[in-house]
Amino acid sequence: MMHKYCLLAIVWLVSATGAAQTQTSVLRVTDAWIRAAPPGVGVLAGYMTMENSGAVDVKVTAAESPQFGMIELHRTVIEDDVARMRKQAYFLVPAGGKLMLAPNDRHLMLMMPNVPLQHGDDVTVVLTLDNGASLEISAPLRLIR
Amino acid sequence: MLIVTAVLFSLAAGAWLGNQVLNRKPALDEISATVLDPPKAVSDFRLTNHRDEPFTLDSLKGKWSFLFFGYTHCPDICPTTLHTLAQMDRILAADPDAHANVQVVFVSIDPRRDTAQQLGKYVPYFNKAFIGVTGPEDEINRLTKQLGILHVRVEQNQGQDYLVDHSASVLLFSPQGALRALFGAPHAAQRLAADFKKIGQLE
């Protein structure tokens, strides 16, 4: 029970400070990368692994980047060999579990780049969580993970 | 005892015969792709490649052609598949003679936005030899309908933008310009290359 209160306190602390608190947040993001695309392409996909060390589920409800006009949460589903991409209201990272954003599956859809980006550049993405906290991550542009 | 020996002998003979057959031609169930036997003939179409040159049924003749249908505003599955095809191409390049006989073609199912110029910037990024193809919507449809390739526009953000749902298969055409095999998604470079080599042995 005590443990639960500690976690709640951490979440409260993160939400109170608002900005990135990667050290104290219950949500940890690793292996973040964005698929490098040819010059002129205005839509890119971002992938990562999200781990939730907390005792409550965490939802990622939005994402933004100073380098892009808009980011949406999407999922590609291949059904009867037809690929459908659908906007998601949130990505749920279960308590004590993880969620992968991966090619041909869930991903961030990054649109309207403000600056020309190329292979090797780092993109800053701020994830908004349903507990009021946010998490800033850095994702390099690569051809493959 | 005699019966057991006879059974064992016939089993061994069966296995030997089976192997002889396999040595000549791979069985279709060894290939994960769906092989069309006989290959499906396709009627002509008039499209344009990313160098603004005509791309027709004749362009599929004389080489094995891998076709993938997608669009440049597709951030996930299209670059993922083109990257996988580029990896496959590197595997096939280990055999230069066979490799010289292969081409990879990306056909846009979003010709409103994918001009030849746009494809010229996009497709060679993944591999300089890959060919981007676009054209009038009715000519794209003339090709996709024959091949069972689906593509449906889906409006986003109150109609300001759209995505396209589309078939994720990679199609293989024989050097006679007929549809020979379909590879279902998700794709893996090793499997595409291995299947392709086996399909080549069927000819």
| pLDDT above 70 for B136 | yes
Which pLDDT belongs to residue B21? Answer: 46
DSSP B187: P
Q: Which CATH architecture has domain B31-202?
A: 3-Layer(aba) Sandwich (3.40)
Higher pLDDT, B141 or A12: B141
- Do A48 and A103 form a contact (C-beta atoms < 8 A)? no
pLDDT band for position B139 (50/70/90)?
A: very high
| pLDDT above 70 for B51 | yes
Nearest residue, CB atoms, A82 vs list B79, B118, B166: B166
Nearest residue, CB atoms, B168 vs list A83, A109, A144: A83
Average pLDDT, chain B: 90
Contacts B121 to A, Cβ<8 Å: 38-40
Strands A82-87 and A68-79 come out as antiparallel
ipTM over 0.90? The verdict is no
- Among residues B97, B65, B81, B112, which one has the least CA distance to residue A76? B81
Question: Shortest Cα distance from B71 to chain A (angstroms)?
Answer: 11
- Do A64 and A125 form a contact (C-beta atoms < 8 A)? yes
Domains defined for chain A, CATH in brackets: 2-142 (2.60.40.1890)
pTM given for the model? 0.84
Nearest residue, CB atoms, B169 vs list A45, A81, A103: A81
Least-confidence region, from A20-29, B56-65, B156-165: A20-29
| pLDDT above 80 for B134 | yes
DSSP secondary structure letters along chain B: -HHHHHHHHHHHHHHHHHHHHHHHS--GGG-SSEEEEEEEP----EEEETTS-EEEGGGGTTSEEEEEEE-TT--SHHHHHHHHHHHHHHHHTTSHHHHTTEEEEEEES-TTT--HHHHHHHHHHH-TT-EEEE--HHHHHHHHHHHT--EEEEEEGGGTEEEEEEE--EEEE-TTS-EEEEEPSSP-HHHHHHHHHHHHHH-
Look at B77 and A78 and tell me if their CB atoms are within 8 Å: yes
Question: Which of A48, A65, A75, A78 would you mutate first to test chain B, the one with the most B CBs within 10 A?
Answer: A78
| pLDDT above 50 for B130 | yes
Q: What is the mean pLDDT of residues B40-49?
A: 97
CA distance B134 to B137: 9
Contacts B168 to A, Cβ<8 Å: 78, 81-83
Which pLDDT belongs to residue A14? Answer: 45
Which pLDDT belongs to residue B13? Answer: 53
> φ, ψ for residue B30 (rounded to 5)?
-85, -10
DSSP B57: G
Q: What is the mean pLDDT of residues B130-149?
A: 97
Q: What is the mean pLDDT of residues B71-96?
A: 96
| pLDDT above 50 for B16 | no
Q: What is the mean pLDDT of residues B141-145?
A: 97
Residue of A nearest to B165 (CA): A84
With a cut of 50, which residues of chain A have pLDDT below it?
1-2, 4-24
Which pLDDT belongs to residue B24? Answer: 59
Q: Could you tell me how far CA B112 lies from the centroid of its own chain?
A: 24
DSSP B184: P
Contacts B73 to A, Cβ<8 Å: 41-43
CA distance B187 to B77: 10
Contacts B72 to A, Cβ<8 Å: 41
Question: Which of B71, B73, B76, B113 would you mutate first to test chain A, the one with the most A CBs within 10 A?
Answer: B76
**In chain B, what is the greatest distance between 2 CA atoms, to the nearest angstrom?**
80
Look at B73 and A74 and tell me if their CB atoms are within 8 Å: no
Look at A107 and B75 and tell me if their CB atoms are within 8 Å: yes
Look at A78 and B72 and tell me if their CB atoms are within 8 Å: no
| pLDDT above 60 for B10 | no
Contacts B77 to A, Cβ<8 Å: 76, 78, 83, 85, 103-104
- Do B123 and B68 form a contact (C-beta atoms < 8 A)? no
